[in-house]
Amino acid sequence: MKDSSVRVFAGCRIYTFNPTHPVGEAVAVRDGKILAVGSADEIRCAAGPDAEWTDLGGRTVVPGFIDSHNHLVHFGISSTRYADLSGSRSVGEILDRLRRFREANPTSPWIIGERFDQELLAEGRWPTRYDLDNVSPDVPIVIVRLCLHALVANSAALEPIKGRLSPEQLETGLLTEDATELIWS
């Protein structure tokens, strides 16, 4: 009987991105974790005689991030251009970070903050347009939730699009999904 808890994928070219062992031809896996990468003989020893073997027919294998939906490029670009709101624990902390960003960037035509999570806020609510107006009623301010599918805008940011918003969106400044595109258009 085969030990199906260990699977070996062989007959392939495995790029490890490890400078001390950059390429292998087989990999042993148990419970979703890599046990070893190396030659077929090395893996045969590491995996044991009862491992289940699969021949990949010369295919290429590379490590990967398994995430069905992410915005890595966006976060890399935005980390230097916008106020980082990640980890904020209160609406007040968000406003303080936005004020500091404004002080550091006094000529910026917009104040944009990113990566806040309303679930972490002590107030137990989303920030509102009125909260953001306390930072600046005249300069457009937008804060984008960490998922990038929701944002809150202040009165100055909402002014050009107010005729296209629902009463609730206009009152709170909260826009989600497709409505967020109104801000950027």
Q: What is the pLDDT of residues 1-47, one digit of tens each?
A: 455 689 999 999 998 888 888 899 999 999 888 899 999 999 998 89
* Residues 77 and 103 reside in one and the same domain: yes
CA angle 88, 93, 96 (to 5 degrees): 130
Q: What is the pLDDT of residues 123-177, one digit of tens each?
A: 999 999 999 999 999 999 999 998 889 999 999 999 999 999 999 999 999 999 9
DSSP 87: T
pTM of the model: 0.62
* Residues 100 and 164 reside in one and the same domain: yes
pLDDT of residue 62: 80
Q: What is the token pair recorded at 134?
A: 């306390």
* Residues 86 and 118 reside in one and the same domain: yes
Residue 31 belongs to some domain of the structure: yes
Domain harbouring 163, CATH code: 3.10.310.70
pLDDT of residue 148: 83
Q: Hey, which bits of 16-131 come out as E strands?
A: 23-30, 33-38, 51-55, 60-61, 83-84, 111-116
* Residues 132 and 89 reside in one and the same domain: yes
Q: What is the pLDDT of residues 61-79, one digit of tens each?
A: 887 755 555 555 555 555 5
* Residues 34 and 89 reside in one and the same domain: no
* Residues 116 and 164 reside in one and the same domain: yes
* Residues 102 and 54 reside in one and the same domain: no
Using 50, 70 and 90 to split pLDDT, how confident is the model at 93? very high
* Residues 82 and 171 reside in one and the same domain: yes
Residue 67 belongs to some domain of the structure: no
Q: For 103, phi and psi rounded to 5 degrees?
A: -60, -40
* Residues 106 and 178 reside in one and the same domain: yes
Total structural domains within the chain: 2
Domain harbouring 52, CATH code: 2.30.40.10
User: What is the domain extent for residue 27?
Assistant: 3-61
* Residues 54 and 84 reside in one and the same domain: no
* Residues 165 and 105 reside in one and the same domain: yes
pLDDT of residue 1: 44
The residue from 36, 61, 86 where one domain ends is 61
